[in-house]
Amino acid sequence: MGNTVGTRASGTWRTRRGMRTRAALATALVLTAVTPWTVSGVAQAAAPATAAAAADSFTAQWTTQTVAPGVEVRTGVLRHADAAPTWTVTVQAAAVNRLTGAASWAPVGDRSWAEATTQQLRDAGFAPQLEEVVWPDYADTPRGAMGWRLRVGSYPTQAAATSAGKALTAAGFRTAVDWTGYDAEQPADRESVHVAVVDPHRFQGTVEGTHHGNVAQRETTSSVAAGLGSLIGVNAGFFITSDADGVQGTSAGVAAYDGELQSMAAGSRAALILENGGRNARIADLTTTVTARAGAAAFQVQGINRVPGKVRNCGRPGVTPTEQPRQDLTCRVGDDLVKFTPQFGAALPSGSGTQVVLDAADRVVSVGARGGTVPVGGSVLQGIGAAADWLSSHAELGKKIKLKDVVRDTHGRKVELGPGDSIVSAAPTLVEDGQIHIDAAAEGTLDPLDLSFGYAWSNARQPRTMAGIDREGRLILATVDGRQPGVSEGFTLAEAAHFMRSLGAVQALNLDGGGSSAMAVDGRLVNITSDATGERPVGDTLQVLPARRG
């Protein structure tokens, strides 16, 4: 299971298949050793049970805090004694975005590119190294070699690597400065994790997804937690961060709060469903349909609380350049009907099209230009293209336009929402029926045919937030810090899946991550977030709330 290092005429080829497998296995083994939630104080991880795991020589210590009956928080740092990360310079491969046709760059390329570029680097006086990169154990991607990664040098500091990168750039190569501790092919140096477990059989409070009253705002996880008096809070689903993509803070996927659908699904993607105040939790891929009816005429609503014509993360019929889910891509659509709820606490989008204002009984109050605000207790429909024509033809003052929302899982079963129920979503699925099942391609977080898209998001170590459910129905919320060389490097998607399964999760999904990853305990941020400006304001959050008196 060790590294194989060989020399070829075109450079040095390093195979690291064993390293990737060992790292995932070792993570699972060490965490399994401390999974009983009755353990308190400081727990030292047991020695790995196999030679492959022992080769990684890492330890983990955990501290356990009981926040409330049935609610525990564990904090630990995984340390890999044999990790030796350094700074290096990665030569980028020219690529073309498969959907847009735009020129782009990828951190790995095919073998012919690797061999040709290696020779060019040697001719320019550099000493390149080529590394085979293999596909992680995803459920819906190829097996074997993903491509070849080309690097130059090993440096003790980022500044030294940056200086070397400038020399490569001056010689005509496209480069990026990387910390090898983020590579899936070798063990991480350190990984700082926080795990909260909520036992519905003992906990008397509730767990809910929330946008804190306004779906068109961003707020930090800890400030929401403090404002609600929350025991535990973590960031939740994907959301819009740029005005160019819509209204900042609005969800980019299916979302429901207190039984009301507030955002539609971006294709069939993973979602955490919390019913009965979180006492019943499950994970499923969800789709949504919303139908507007005026008498016998009907029209499909394509969005809730978003800018007409802009569909973040795609995944809706009729949009371009793809109808499939696509992470962090804003698709466009010319014919679009969007509903706005009373929880949309911002100015309504303006522009061409038609707007219909409805009262609490779904009766048409006004028909006109887009803009203004959602009336208290009412709702708004905005249409562009054919949807605008439909509204103009069928919206009559005093008459009803009835709206029906339907949420279904991939088995076609309806998800009935009631008071206290909530849904938050992200991607991809990590664990299904007790087995590792990462459907990264189907849920749009990477593209096997375009390695310029999603490589770092999915395959490199990143800060992440995860949610899972074990066989006893306990909810597991976990964060791992990342983007902090020598402090905490994060998880790949594969490592996140193994981590959650090692904690006993039989279902798990990846929530929003990166600079959004945050956990608050008793209203106070307990992890180290990765944004240079501090804790990132996010869209929605998951909050564990104490029982309310009376």
Burial annotation 209-235 (CB, 10 A radius, 16+ → b, else e): bbbbeebbbbbbbbbbbbebebbbbbb
Q: With contact defined as beta carbons under 8 Å apart, do 207 and 103 qualify?
A: no
Whether 213 has a pLDDT exceeding 50, the answer reads yes
pLDDT of residue 58: 56
Residue 60's pLDDT is: 79
Mean pLDDT score, 116-130: 98
Lowest mean pLDDT among 46-55, 79-88, 251-260, 371-380: 46-55
Q: What is the rounded distance in angstroms from the CA atom of residue 502 to the CA atom of residue 72?
A: 17
What percent of the chain shows pLDDT beyond 70? 89
With cut-offs at 50, 70 and 90, classify the pLDDT of residue 529: very high
Give 3-state DSSP helix, strand, coil % of the chain, rounded to 5: 15, 40, 45
If pLDDT is split at 50, 70 and 90, which confidence band does 61 have? confident
Angle (CA) 64 67 72, round 5°: 45
Rounded mean pLDDT of 285-294?
97
The amino acid at residue 321 is P
> What is the structure's pLDDT at 38?
33
pLDDT tens sequence across 493-508: 999 999 999 999 999 9
What is the rounded distance in angstroms from the CA atom of residue 106 to the CA atom of residue 93? 5
Question: What pLDDT shows up at residue 35?
Answer: 38
Q: Where are the beta strands (DSSP E) in 145-279?
A: 145-155, 175-179, 190-198, 206-210, 232-235, 255-257, 260-263, 269-275
Contact 519, 527 (CB under 8 A): yes
Q: How far apart are CA 60 and CA 62, in angstroms?
A: 7
Q: With cut-offs at 50, 70 and 90, classify the pLDDT of residue 18.
A: very low
How high is the mean pLDDT of the chain?
Answer: 90
Buried b (16+ CB within 10 A) or exposed e, 155-170: beeeebbeebbebbee
Q: Between these two residues, 42 and 66, which has the higher pLDDT value?
A: 66
pLDDT for 8 equals 29
Mean pLDDT of 498-527: 97
Amino acid found at 95: A
What would the mean pLDDT of 218-237 be, rounded to a whole number? Answer: 98
Question: Which residue type does 511 have?
Answer: L
C-beta of residue 481 within 8 angstroms of C-beta of residue 192: yes
DSSP code, position 199: -
Average pLDDT over residues 260-288: 97
Q: What is the pLDDT of residues 459-479, one digit of tens each?
A: 999 999 999 999 999 999 999
549 pLDDT band, cuts 50/70/90, is low
Of 227, 223, 228, nearest to 207 by C-alpha is: 228
Q: What is the pLDDT of residue 447?
A: 95
Model-level pTM? Answer: 0.90
State what percent of residues in the chain have pLDDT above 90: 86
Longest dimension (CA), the chain: 80
